[in-house]
Amino acid sequence: MIREGSGTRNLLDLLPLIKPENERRCFFCTDDRHPNDILSEGHINFMVKSAIRAGLAPITAIRLATLNAAEYFGLHKLGAIGPGRLADLVLFDNFTDLAIRRVYKNGRLVARDGVPVYDLANRPPATLRSSVNIKWLEGDEFIIPSRGRRCRVIGIVPDQIVTNSLVMEPTILDGQIISDIERDLLRLYVVERHRASGRIGKGLVHGFHLKRGALATSIGHDSHNIIAIGVSDNDVIKAVTTINKMGGGIALVHDGHVIESLELPIAGLMSDKPLEEVSSRTRSLVAACRTLGVTLSDPLMTLSFMALPVIPQLKLTDQGLVDVRTFTHVDLFIE
């Protein structure tokens, strides 16, 4: 799989690996992609265009997006045009910009020049709502008592979902670890949100560059608990409780005030608003993060992957830190 997402862009780096000997065993995927990127660039079609512009033969690029992927997943009625296959078709008029003119699903026209031509009014409503279920927070749950002089720290790698496993001395005040914006050493939390267990994983992260406030999201791959990063306890609590009240979403808080938010009421992962509105709100969130010091190109996506314990090296779950290299839980403190 050759991936080109929002937080991880690997297409151009991996294209040289595609050779005539292996091109039938490669295919495109996007992984996580923000609504604004889909709106401005596209999805798999963007990968096809980018690959062609980088020199890959058009037919090969299209095959990676269609037939190769369908064959890999055993979807034998998809991926090609032929007898016995489903008539899921995309029509375009050239190999340069691949502007999509028509889209057919099961032989029926569903979109013309980027505009849906079917009625959405009769689609059933989403039922996966009210999925945020956390134990009542008093505030002291986010305290990290000091138990040593050195800590394991998640080191962010810009534009990647892999992390480094660092060792740093935490900043201590009154026997508690506090965020240190001068050294960009911030507290990180994962709050279990499915069964109100009260579990909260606590850790430290370097490389996020947040100078003020707190950011929290109910998108936390792959368990999708609430993950929060912040400078002050009060702002972290406000961000987490805001997500709870919204029934899922993203919240950015400064000085106790929610300065930007996005509701994700469907399983705490999806919005029921139009794509254009979600894209605009997402851009506003990222812009607001910039005002609080964040310089990462995609802070929302970066934060959501800090809890994914299958991608090296060090990640945080609601049950604590995980060393992905050994697939074992490790303590925050080394000594």
Hey, where are the domains in the chain?
2-86, 140-330
For 21, list phi and psi in degrees, rounded to 5.
-75, -25
Predicted confidence (pLDDT) at residue 129 exceeds the cutoff of 80: no
Q: What is the rounded average pLDDT of the residues 195-219?
A: 98
Q: What is the residue-averaged pLDDT of the chain?
A: 94
Predicted confidence (pLDDT) at residue 51 exceeds the cutoff of 70: yes
pLDDT for 282-319, tens place per residue? Answer: 999 999 999 999 999 899 999 999 999 999 999 999 99
Predicted confidence (pLDDT) at residue 137 exceeds the cutoff of 90: no
Cα–Cα distances (Å) from 67 to 21, 106, 168, 222, in that order, read 16, 17, 48, 28
Give the per-residue pLDDT at 126: 61
Give the per-residue pLDDT at 123: 64
pLDDT for 21-46, tens place per residue? Answer: 999 999 999 988 888 899 999 999 99
- Given the structure tokens 């009240």, which residue do they identify? 245
Give the per-residue pLDDT at 34: 86
Give the per-residue pLDDT at 33: 87
- Given the structure tokens 């010091």, which residue do they identify? 293
Predicted confidence (pLDDT) at residue 125 exceeds the cutoff of 90: no
In whole angstroms, give the CA distance from residue 331 to residue 321: 7
Q: What is the rounded average pLDDT of the residues 241-248?
A: 96
Give the per-residue pLDDT at 316: 98
Give the per-residue pLDDT at 112: 96
Predicted confidence (pLDDT) at residue 159 exceeds the cutoff of 90: no
Q: What is the rounded average pLDDT of the residues 168-188?
A: 98
Predicted confidence (pLDDT) at residue 240 exceeds the cutoff of 70: yes
Give the per-residue pLDDT at 127: 67
Give the per-residue pLDDT at 182: 98
Whether residue 160 has a cis bond before it, omega within 30° of 0: no
- Is residue 229 packed enough to be buried (19+ CB in 10 Å), middle (13-18) or exposed (0-12)? buried
pLDDT for 3-19, tens place per residue? Answer: 998 878 899 999 999 99
Predicted confidence (pLDDT) at residue 130 exceeds the cutoff of 90: no
Residues in the chain, how many?
Answer: 335
Amino acid at 247: G
Percent of the chain with pLDDT over 70: 98
Give the per-residue pLDDT at 7: 74
Predicted confidence (pLDDT) at residue 254 exceeds the cutoff of 90: yes
Give the per-residue pLDDT at 96: 83
